[in-house]
Chains A and B, each alone.
Chain A
Amino acid sequence: MAIQDMPGASPWTQRLLAIYGALVLFFLMLPTVIVIPMSFSDSQYLEFPPTSWSLRWYREYFGSSAWMSATWTSLLVAVLTTLLATPLGTLAAYGMHCTSDRVRNSLQLLVLMPVVVPSILVAVGVFHLYAIVDLNYSITGLVLAHTALAVPFVIITVLSSLNNYDMTQEMAARSMGASRPQAFLGITLPQIRFSVLTGAFLAFITSLDEVVVAKFISGGENATITRRMFNALRDQIDPTIAAISTCLIVVSVLALAAVQFFGARSKGRT
């Protein structure tokens, strides 16, 4: 534990620090954790703590074709976004890593724009653009917009691991007869794959969690789950939202666990 490693701190200071740390963690977790018991409530309304328990809101969620179709839309968009953003971001990071510092720095600024600009502005911009090219309310449009939002996260994670990677390994491979793609796929990629997986996870979550852009450009039968939840909250407060949120938390945690699992394995190999 880092707390015990602090040299020169008195036992009291250490104890206070531990309590403080626990409080911060508790505060961070609270909104997430509170949703879970609420989803098992038997009440008509969102309440905490629940007075009686039931699975009715899960039945409500899984029984509703509208919710289910929104869920599949979201998952499909998230998966497609991940499949698009991960190779794009990885290649962009690789390209940026191989250029001069000056080019890399200006590119970095450009590439981070979608993250820095308020999502509402991105949403408005994308909406107007899509109105021209007729992509509003389409899966393609959603995937493209989410990819633009997700690529920076892939670039950042992959770029940081490339910074700790010795590129002469790739030169060595090339001198020994490997073409550039062979050297990248066979030598570099295995060593940066944890960061690629992390980037893929972030891309997946970025898309799954995204609501502002989706609010503008998705709708009809291609509405995402977050958009539908947002609308549902506006009309009536209903514990179905808590049940859906719990499911989303489970999906996110499972994805993160998968990344950690594969990451631990790939680290164990080196």
Chain B
Amino acid sequence: MAAAAASSQSLPITVSNLVKAYGDLRVLDDVSIAIRPGEFMTLLGPSGSGKTTLLMALAGFVSPESGSIRFGEQEMITTSPHKRGVGMVFQSYALFPFMSVVENVAYPLKIRGVSPAEQKSRAEAALEMVKLGGYGGRRINQLSGGQKQRVALARAMVFEPRIILMDEPLSALDKKLREHMQIELKQLHQKLDATIVYVTHDQREALTMSDRIAVINKGRIAQLDEPKALYRRPNSLFVADFIGETVLLPVQREGDGVSLQGRKLKLATPTPSGNGPLQLVIRPELLQLDAGDDGDTNTIAGVVRQTIYQGDSVLLIIDAGDGREVSVRIATSRAGQASLPDSGSRIALGLHRDDTVVLAEQAP
């Protein structure tokens, strides 16, 4: 059977100039991406961005108009799905309801002609990996949502594929279970030695699990970076707005620098070129209330309008003049609460220069 399967060495994936169009709509618009062997790569984007189409193209269920997909050195663009040797986990789990749990997990082995005894032992081992040891005899309709997801995972990895593709596998689970499974999946990835490509629209999920994240918008890769870099150094307003909580403040060009409230800002990144309008990207939790001027901090003056208690944190809505609003998030720790200003009081907010990112309204 498939030569790509049954080896325990993860593969790099190289996608070059991939185009997929439905009529006039380019769902994938000249996408190139290099995924490293063993990497946990997340394709993150809003619905309709093309992230699932890209995943389906990797799996072979979508045939692109042009471009190249290589697994290692091997060109895959015309290879049928069943010969690509990838494990796949679907949003709807796609378990076979007329088979038992162990029959489901053993299916890829059965198709590959593995002996019944080995099928059973390997399926049991895979179930053990996803903490479902002893569930082999159950019927699918006797399982909870989380258990079904684990069976789908076991089934995707039982034949030791070097690449595993996952299409929003956790989105049908409730929040608590989802967060638990995120951690578990991450741990599983470390044991597996497989390249994982993971599709989600949940930015927190992407930040939690990924080695790197490709933010996809309108069929193009907007930014490809590690979670921390993506969060702290977004390269466009789209990425800034899509990842995390973001407040945008219009700022003015002044010479080759940027100013806010008449003060020149110290920036973490170079001023965007061109002469279009600029926005300061602010993460509410990075603003400091008691801003001492140490020479490396920008200050934003404002008046406290509202204080909103949100359990783990308090959100302050600040009027920064000219109808511009900034929100500040402060942990509900003792230290955070001690300095909480009253509504109506004037305050100065501090933003460290390393956190000061200014972006052009339209990407150049």
A189 to chain B, nearest CB (A): 11
A194 to chain B, nearest CB (A): 12
| Chain A interfacial residues counted at CB < 8 A | 20
Contact B98 A171 (CB under 8 A): no
| Residue B1 CB within 8 A of the other chain | yes
* Contact residues of A between 172 and 214, Cβ < 8 Å to B: 172-180, 182-183, 187, 190-191
| Residue A140 CB within 8 A of the other chain | no
Contact B107 A168 (CB under 8 A): no
**A172: contacting residue among B2, B85, B90, CB under 8 A:** B90
Residue among A166, A174, A191 with the highest chain B CB neighbour number at 10 A:
A174
A78 to chain B, nearest CB (A): 30
| Residue B81 CB within 8 A of the other chain | yes
Known interface pairs A172-B88, A177-B159. Does A166 touch B111 (Cβ–Cβ under 8 Å)?
no
Known interface pairs A176-B111, A177-B5. Does A171 touch B90 (Cβ–Cβ under 8 Å)?
yes
| Residue A102 CB within 8 A of the other chain | no
Q: Secondary structure at chain A's binding surface: helix, strand, loop or mixed?
A: helix
**A166: contacting residue among B59, B88, B94, CB under 8 A:** B94
Which A residues lie within 8 Å of B155 (CB)?
A: 172, 176
Contact A187 B96 (CB under 8 A): yes
| Residue A169 CB within 8 A of the other chain | yes
| B138-162 interface code vs A (CB 8 A; 1 in, 0 out) | 0001000000000000011001000
Known interface pairs A177-B1, A177-B5. Does A169 touch B82 (Cβ–Cβ under 8 Å)?
no
| Residue A234 CB within 8 A of the other chain | no
Which B residues lie within 8 Å of A166 (CB)?
A: 92, 94
Residue among B80, B86, B95, B96 with the highest chain A CB neighbour number at 10 A:
B96
Known interface pairs A175-B81, A175-B88, A176-B111. Does A169 touch B1 (Cβ–Cβ under 8 Å)?
no
Contact B111 A178 (CB under 8 A): yes
| Residue B87 CB within 8 A of the other chain | yes
| Residue B97 CB within 8 A of the other chain | yes
| Residue A44 CB within 8 A of the other chain | no
Residue among A166, A169, A172, A190 with the highest chain B CB neighbour number at 10 A:
A172
B263 to chain A, nearest CB (A): 56
A175 — nearest CB in chain B belongs to which residue?
Answer: B88
Which A residues lie within 8 Å of B107 (CB)?
A: 173, 176, 178
Q: A169-B94, A173-B111, A176-B155 are in contact. List 11 more A-B contacts (CB 8 A).
A: A166-B94, A172-B155, A174-B61, A174-B80, A176-B156, A177-B5, A179-B80, A179-B82, A182-B82, A182-B111, A191-B97
**Partner-B contacts on A (CB < 8 A):** 166, 168-169, 171-180, 182-183, 187, 190-191, 269-270
**Partner-A contacts on B (CB < 8 A):** 1-2, 5, 59-61, 80-82, 84-88, 90, 92, 94-98, 107-108, 111-112, 141, 155-156, 159, 165
In the complex, 23 of the A-B residue pairs with CB atoms within 8 angstroms, ordered by the A residue number, are: A168-B94, A171-B59, A171-B88, A171-B94, A172-B94, A172-B96, A174-B80, A175-B59, A175-B87, A175-B88, A175-B156, A176-B88, A177-B2, A178-B82, A178-B107, A179-B82, A180-B82, A182-B82, A183-B82, A187-B96, A191-B97, A191-B98, A270-B98
